[in-house]
Amino acid sequence: MKINQNYLDLKNSYLFSTVAKKISAYKEANPDKKVIRMDIGDVTLPLCGAVVTALRKAVEDMSQKETFRGYGPEQGYDFLREAIAGYYAKIGVALSADEIFVSDGAKSDIGNMLDLFDRDNNVLIPDPVYPVYRDTNIMAGRRISFIEANAGNNFLPMPDQAGSADIIYLCSPNNPTGAVYSHEQLKSWVDYANGRGAVIFFDAAYESFVGEAALPRSIFEIPGAETCAVEFCSFSKTAGFTGTRCGYTVVPHALVCGETKLRDMWLRRQTTKFNGVPYIVQRAAEAVFTPEGLFETRKNIAYYMENGKLIAKTMRELGITFVGGETSPYIWMQCGMDSWDYFDMLLERANVTGTPGAGFGRAGEGYFRLTAFGTQEATAEAMERMKALKKIDPAF
């Protein structure tokens, strides 16, 4: 046999696995310490009432001969795809249900979408970035260029720095920085991609954190995006599905390469390699879009946003430069030292965790990411611990 040698070019552990391993080792050595986790963006509130009711009802369906379901459509049940199309319609984006593909989450689709593209493409990835974009392209052996997101461009790199990209990754609200592109800024990217015949992979996993702000939640709010973009979204952060697993990807009919529709290629890929998301999970996801589901999930987002505000307030009090936290669940703070050293120091001295910026890319060095997805009690306690640490060690 011959292995895929590209795997040898990866760091030997995925960022969040490395962080989790370090935390487990610390806890094992210090069983008396109460560690507060603000590293991986995992939700802490339970599924909302509307979702749980739908799950129970769907389990009941599966227990009766008349309503039992076996294999479902690989691209998702109509009831869920239509509910998703309805959600987009509310922000003025007209999609047909057959442009929407339901999956077990955005992470899988972001990686799997690369099946549609030749190895010989120039990939453009912001730095810092959600490590899945980088690692999946390293696995495939593609050429990657990085485009820096830094204080100088308000963490929102623009196409004038893009060079000659064929596949472009954008994430807004951004993981890890929390920065959000405006309509005008996204329009520049759409024009750039259409001008070059490039494709944009738009990660909208954090769209529900935009709230009432006049900022885009979907790239398809931008005229022209239907001929150059694919959008990935997820119920993980919007509705607490990190353990339930459901997401969706939009591949518009108008997105073509020559005569070939990418939407048809994706359908072909999914029908061959994927057997769909469980019926009960799709019923649960459908409930997110009911009036009760929308009300309850918004309430949960507001809860996390209170954490974001508290973290931002604490950063200001401590004189720490940061971005994010207001229209995103992440706070990207300057840590003023090697970010893995900061991780160790914060874990050991305050028993608080976060994610070292260097794990998101070279330009993330000197930064540290905190998540707002904790409980309000734990977040408040973590902020008190950081303040106490600053009092005894002003260099912190």
Cβ atoms 142, 379 nearer than 8 A = no
Q: What is the distance between the alpha carbons of residues 122 and 388, in angstroms, rounded to a whole number?
A: 47
Cβ atoms 207, 233 nearer than 8 A = yes
Cβ atoms 187, 195 nearer than 8 A = no
Q: Which is nearer to ligand MLT, 40 or 58 (CB)?
A: 40
Q: Which is nearer to ligand MLT, 159 or 178 (CB)?
A: 178
- Window 74-113: residues binding ligand MLT (CB under 6 A): 107
Shortest distance in whole angstroms from residue 67 CB to ligand MLT: 33
Q: Which is nearer to ligand MLT, 175 or 297 (CB)?
A: 175
Shortest distance in whole angstroms from residue 226 CB to ligand MLT: 26
Please name which of 363, 143, 364 lies closest in space to residue 355, comparing C-alpha atoms.
Answer: 364
Shortest distance in whole angstroms from residue 271 CB to ligand MLT: 25
Q: What is the distance between the alpha carbons of residues 135 and 123, in angstroms, rounded to a whole number?
A: 12
Identify whether 356 is preceded by a cis peptide bond (ω within 30 of 0). no
What are the two backbone dihedrals, phi and then psi, of residue 321, each rounded to the nearest 5 degrees? -75, 135
Task: State how far Cα 324 lies from the chain centre.
Answer: 14
Among 19, 37, 38, 41, binds ligand MLT (CB under 6 A): 41
Q: Which is nearer to ligand MLT, 113 or 222 (CB)?
A: 113
Q: Which is nearer to ligand MLT, 263 or 369 (CB)?
A: 369
Shortest distance in whole angstroms from residue 107 CB to ligand MLT: 5
Q: From residue 306 to residue 345, what is the string marking binding to ligand MLT with x (rule CB under 6 A)?
A: ----------------------------------------
Q: Which is nearer to ligand MLT, 130 or 189 (CB)?
A: 130
Q: What is the DSSP letter of 369?
A: E
Q: What is the DSSP letter of 6?
A: G
Shortest distance in whole angstroms from residue 14 CB to ligand MLT: 10
Shortest distance in whole angstroms from residue 385 CB to ligand MLT: 21
Among 19, 36, 38, 40, binds ligand MLT (CB under 6 A): 40
Q: Which is nearer to ligand MLT, 107 or 134 (CB)?
A: 107
Residue whose Cβ sits closest to ligand MLT: 41
- Per CB under 6 A, 175 contacts ligand MLT: yes
Shortest distance in whole angstroms from residue 384 CB to ligand MLT: 23
Q: From residue 111 to residue 140, what is the string marking binding to ligand MLT with x (rule CB under 6 A)?
A: -------------------x----------
Shortest distance in whole angstroms from residue 130 CB to ligand MLT: 6
Site size with ligand MLT, rule: CB under 6 A:
5
Strand partners of residue 36: 352
Ramachandran class of 342: left when φ > 0, alpha when ψ lies in -120 to 50, beta otherwise: alpha
Q: Specify the 3-state DSSP secondary structure of 256.
A: strand
- Window 201-220: residues binding ligand MLT (CB under 6 A): none
Shortest distance in whole angstroms from residue 322 CB to ligand MLT: 17
Residue 341, Cβ neighbours under 10 Å: how many? 12
Q: What is the distance between the alpha carbons of residues 282 and 302, in angstroms, rounded to a whole number?
A: 24
The DSSP H or E segment spanning 103 is: strand 100-103
Q: What is the distance between the alpha carbons of residues 390 and 381, in angstroms, rounded to a whole number?
A: 14
Q: Dihedral angle at the C-alpha atoms of 281, 282, 285, 286, nearest 10 degrees? A: -140
Q: Of how many residues is the chain composed?
A: 396
Shortest distance in whole angstroms from residue 43 CB to ligand MLT: 9
- Window 265-294: residues binding ligand MLT (CB under 6 A): none
Cβ atoms 312, 329 nearer than 8 A = no
Q: What is the distance between the alpha carbons of residues 368 and 301, in angstroms, rounded to a whole number?
A: 22
Q: What is the DSSP letter of 208?
A: G
Q: Which is nearer to ligand MLT, 159 or 361 (CB)?
A: 361
How large is the C-alpha radius of gyration of the chain?
Answer: 21
Shortest distance in whole angstroms from residue 135 CB to ligand MLT: 12
- Per CB under 6 A, 37 contacts ligand MLT: no
Q: Which is nearer to ligand MLT, 107 or 217 (CB)?
A: 107
Q: Which is nearer to ligand MLT, 106 or 350 (CB)?
A: 106
- What residues line the site for ligand MLT (CB under 6 A)? 40-41, 107, 130, 175
